[in-house]
Chain A
Amino acid sequence: MAISNESLPPPGWGPRGLDLLLDAFPTGQLSEIVGPWSSGASSLLLALVARATAPGGLAAFVDGGDAFDPASAVAAGADLSRLLWVKCGGRLRAAFSATDLLARCPGFALVALDLGEPWLMRREPIAPALCLRLKIAAEQSTAILVLRAPHRLAGSAAALAVSLRRLESRWIGLPHPTRLAGLSSETRILRSRAHPAAPTSGGLVIEWRM
């Protein structure tokens, strides 16, 4: 835990590195964001949603475990009126079918599949064919298709795999913390079809702020 001596949280505008990272997500390909809870993976996913909807694009959020928080999306800069929220209630196969269907519907700038609940993965194994099907659907569209999961699911089907790791949480208040200010996480590109050398490059630290 790190305690900041700032009396107010700094403005919530991310570093340039986040924009560079978001630019790396390819259209017409399946990408993957992996990381455990509190790693910043969901924050990265919502930043992608904001990047897609803020300039007027339409995004779909397939919510495997009904964990999506619209208020967080707004905080990230997303335009909710351009977001289709699909709640799957923990039905994994339905979530994959819905994502496949939306990826094949032309006109979406982003289709996100959120399977970030570890208990979902434990309850029902994911067949590799499901991810391959998503890869094929993505290749027939112009959308960014992104899958968020606690660990890697798509394997070679993903053109880009980004891993996030929690570094430390940040709190405000002295001598005792009174508020959570955010957390910092390290982002690593595990696989990049567009830039094969990327996996060897160093991690990018992102400060996620409240």
Chain B
Amino acid sequence: MADVRRIACLLVREQTPERESGIARKLLEVALAHSPRVEEAGAGLVYLDVAGLRGLFGDEGQIGRRLVRGAADRGLPAQVGVAGSRISARVAARRGSGVTIVAPGDDVAYLASAPLALLDLSAEMVERLRRWGLRTLGELAALPAAALCERLGSEGLRLQRLARGEDPRPLRLWAPPPVFEESIEPGWATETLDALVDLLARLVERVCQQLERRGFSADRFQWACRLADHTVHEGSFSPAVPMHEAAAITALLRASLDSRPPRGAVEAVTLRAHPVRVAAAQDSLTERSRPSPRTLAAALARLAALLGARQLGVPVLLDSYRPDAVIIDPSLHPPRSPETGVRGVTRAALALRRLRPPVAAGVTLTAGRPVHLRSDRLTARIVASVGPWRASGEWWTERPWIHDEWDVELGDGTLCRLAHDGSTWWLEAIYD
């Protein structure tokens, strides 16, 4: 005799947004305690394959009550429906209270009296079916399929199959997320950062091999060091793009450890990767050649390890008159579609070279105009000057600024920008 399909639907009656994430985990715990074949179908809803569980937990009524009790033990008011398909089980769980069993073969009859609203239709579809005078699933199931297809297309046929309890798709079985975690306890205390990085590099190698073997990349890595005083020192870092390249991740790890070195000797280390699937994408033939995100991320990781993560990125000009108002955005994600620049015409703009920070300077004035400059970088007679150009801003904040700018030419021809803030002269930039 062929096995009869029996699906149980475990549904939480009341949900609040702040509890949703916890609800899914608790429902899965309850379901997996009864059946290994479980599908997570959204917030507060799981399906179980309960065929063949009689020997373990009793009949379907007993299984349903166990499920309700298990959910109640975790603080979840739940209802259970058991039927021959997922749609029938869900409708049974919604219509009934507690546990509702639809006997094998009775799905169509049970669904016939159920209101259409139980199908989770769109508002537009609800209105359309209401205009047709349809109220129940039975009325929808009784419509001629060809005529329904002419009016609603394939969606109409899908809804009609659901109204008839026809839901042959197998359960999408839930599987626990893979864990990519490696630990090492060398048996002695590691006291230098280099030795610790070497230790973690071995873990990186192993984790990356596991990720690659399973077709994953990782978008976040967490490391934890158990110190000799039995405290735990933790940190994390995220590559610019999900990746599984050990060399680049080791470089990032070193930068992360450099910024948060452990306070004492380390006895054991653990590295955990958060896996993500990365879909392969093909570049357009019409686009300019660009670094692949992974290659670029690996290069940026090595640069961050070499210079510090805050030392590289995309320059972003701030909306301010303050001199040198610029920040570095650490992410380099240039727009994909290239802008069409005009090749062959280039602006011959005179550039500034900034001195960061500006250099304090001694300036001699004659008749209110600078005539001599003396600083660590440049000392010379001033042969030409224009100014002062007053600039000010942010007087409405706690960091107001005001200064007078001068453009000057020194005796050797060097063009500089000087600024005077009322008390000190600054050599701000060189024209070049």
Contact = CB atoms under 8 A, between A and B. Distances in A.
B367 interface: no
Contacts, number: 221
A47 B348 contact: yes
B346 A77 contact: yes
A67 B357 CA distance: 10
Interface in A40-82: 40-43, 45-47, 50-51, 53-58, 66-77, 79-82
B291 A47 contact: no
Nearest to B298: A105
A108 interface: yes
B423 interface: no
B413 A166 contact: yes
A169 B384 contact: yes
B414 A101 contact: no
B326 to A, nearest CB: 5
B315 A70 contact: yes
A198 interface: no
A208 B278 CA distance: 47
B391 interface: no
A108 B295 CA distance: 11
A55 to B, nearest CB: 4
Contacts of B332: 84
Interface string A67-107: 11111111111011111111111010010011001100111
Given A106-B289, A207-B348, A67 B354 contact: yes
Contacts of A29: none
Interface string B344-384: 11111111111110000000000000000000010000011
Nearest to B325: A71
A142 B303 contact: no
A72 to B, nearest CB: 4
Contact of A105 (B299, B306, B326, B413): B299
Nearest to B337: A56
Contacts of A18: 346, 348
Given A1-B384, A171-B384, A55 B346 contact: no
Interface stretch (A131-139, A154-162, A178-186, A189-197): A178-186
A107 B306 contact: no
A54 B316 CA distance: 16
Given A39-B432, A106-B291, A107-B291, A12 B348 contact: yes
Interface string B324-345: 1010100010110111111111
Contact of B346 (A14, A66, A83, A116): A14
B143 to A, nearest CB: 55
A12 B414 CA distance: 21
A85 B339 CA distance: 20
B383 to A, nearest CB: 7
Contacts of B355: 67
Contacts of A180: 386, 407, 415, 431
B313 interface: yes
B348 A107 contact: no
Interface residues of A, number: 81
Contacts of A87: 307, 311-312, 328
Given A87-B307, A169-B409, A55 B288 contact: yes
Contacts of A75: 347, 349, 351
Contacts of A15: 348
Contacts of B343: 51, 54-55
Given A85-B315, A107-B295, A107-B296, A1 B409 contact: yes
Interface string A15-54: 1001100100000000000011111111101110011011
B347 A47 contact: yes
A203 interface: no
A109 interface: yes
A206 interface: yes
A50 B347 contact: yes
Given A106-B291, A116-B432, A183-B431, A83 B352 contact: no
Contact of B351 (A36, A42, A108, A169): A42
B4 interface: no
Interface in B374-403: 377, 383-384, 386
B255 interface: no
A209 interface: yes
B306 A119 contact: no
B307 to A, nearest CB: 6
A128 interface: no
A81 B334 contact: yes
B415 A72 contact: no
B307 A88 contact: yes
Interface in B393-432: 407, 409, 413-415, 429-432
A42 to B, nearest CB: 4
Nearest to A91: B307
Contacts of A51: 343, 346
A40 B432 contact: yes
B129 interface: no
A102 to B, nearest CB: 6
Interface of B: 287-292, 295-296, 299, 302-303, 306-307, 311-317, 324, 326, 328, 332, 334-335, 337-356, 377, 383-384, 386, 407, 409, 413-415, 429-432
Given A37-B432, A68-B315, A70-B317, 15 more contacts: A19-B346, A37-B414, A53-B341, A68-B353, A72-B349, A72-B350, A72-B352, A86-B311, A87-B328, A88-B307, A105-B299, A108-B291, A169-B384, A183-B350, A208-B349
